[in-house]
Each structure stands twice: as structure tokens, then as C-alpha cells.
Amino acid sequence: MESIEKIKEMVAQAVPGAAIEIIPSSPAAAQPALLVNRESAVAVACYLKDEPSYQMDFCSCVTGVDYLAKGYIEVVYHLYSVALKQGPVVLKIRAPRELSQCHVPSLTPVWRGCEFQEREAFDLYGIKFNGHPDLRRILMWNEFTDHPMRKDYVPPADYEWEPTPHDDVLKRAKADGGIMPPSAAAAEVKK
């Protein structure tokens, strides 16, 4: 497979106006990424999928990364070509952390396999995927109002819904004066 620098050059030629940057990775990952602006993300994805020399026909992973101190969240896509047996090409899109602005275009229309993974990133990080065919919670219940993978998430002291609360949950409930679930209250009485 071509170098990330060559891929960046080819994408920049094919998608005029795309802001593309190479983001180095940690030595352990050894996979530099292409950071693409939100406005060009779908065009870049289509190019990587349709270009005969790349044929990135499979998206194996979609995830979010919260950079609390920097004020943004990144959506990370790992792309492979099954046809050419090459990859990955790591594609990143940044969005502001503020929930009202935390949105990126959905790449589900390009790779159908992104559908549930984008839903998971929406559910856990609060990233809205514009154009997603079915953007709704997938892990948390509908009444849950937070996004537990954000670095500033504070778990509640009271987990009334947890059928068998354990160690840390019970300590938080006691410390904060939270209401302990019936199963925990019964366990306390037995002590």
C-alpha cells in the first residue's frame, strides 16, 4: 500500500477544498491517520472507497476519542481493502465537544457496516452523525440523558436500576446520601 503522504496527496487532488492533515500516532500504534474536515469527509470517504488503487471497501471500526483538554472529540474510522488485501487507512474527523456542535457527517451511506458503530459513538460520546439512517441509542436506555464515555462524565451516586449494586456503587451511594436500591438496603440490614 502507498504511504500515508502519497494517499494524502492523491486525496487532496481528487477532493478540491478538502482540508487534510496527517496526524502521527503513538509508537505502539504505528498508524498515522488522515484528519479530514467535516465538510469534506463524505467526499474523501467515497474517493477512498471508489478509487481503483485503494478500494477501501470495508470499515472495520468506528470509535470516538474525547480530548477534553483540547476541546474536541475525534471520530476514528479504520478502513481496509478486502479486494486488494491492504490497509488500514485511519480516517479522523473532529468535532467540538459542546453537544449542540458535536456533529459529523455519517459515513454509513458509504460503508453500511458503520451503522451500529456510529450509533454506539452517538450513545456513549454524544456525537451526532448527520444523515445517519437510524441514529438512536444502542447501549444505554432511552431515558438516559448523559454520555458515559466523555471524560467529564460523573456517574450518579444512586443506581436504583442496578439489580445487584457492588462495591464502588454502594460506597458512592452511602457517601452522597443516595437512595440505596432495595437489594442493597436488604444486604445492609443483614450485616
Could you give the 3-state DSSP secondary structure of residue 171? helix
Domain parsing of the chain, residue ranges:
4-150, 155-191
Q: What is the mean pLDDT of residues 7-34?
A: 89
Task: From 51, 58, 55, 14, select the one nearest 36 (Cα to Cα).
Answer: 14
- Cβ burial of 33 (10 Å; 0-12, 13-18, 19+) is buried
- Cβ burial of 24 (10 Å; 0-12, 13-18, 19+) is exposed
CATH number of this structure's domain 4-150, picked from the four choices 3.30.460.80, 3.40.50.620, 3.30.200.20, 2.30.30.40? 3.30.460.80
Q: Over the stretch 158-181, which tens digit does the pLDDT of each residue have?
A: 655 555 556 776 676 677 665 555
Assess whether pLDDT exceeds 70 at residue 185. Answer: no
Output Rg (C-alpha) for the chain, integer angstroms: 21
Q: Over the stretch 58-108, which tens digit does the pLDDT of each residue have?
A: 999 999 999 999 999 999 999 999 999 999 999 999 999 999 999 999 999
- pTM of the predicted structure, to 2 decimals: 0.83
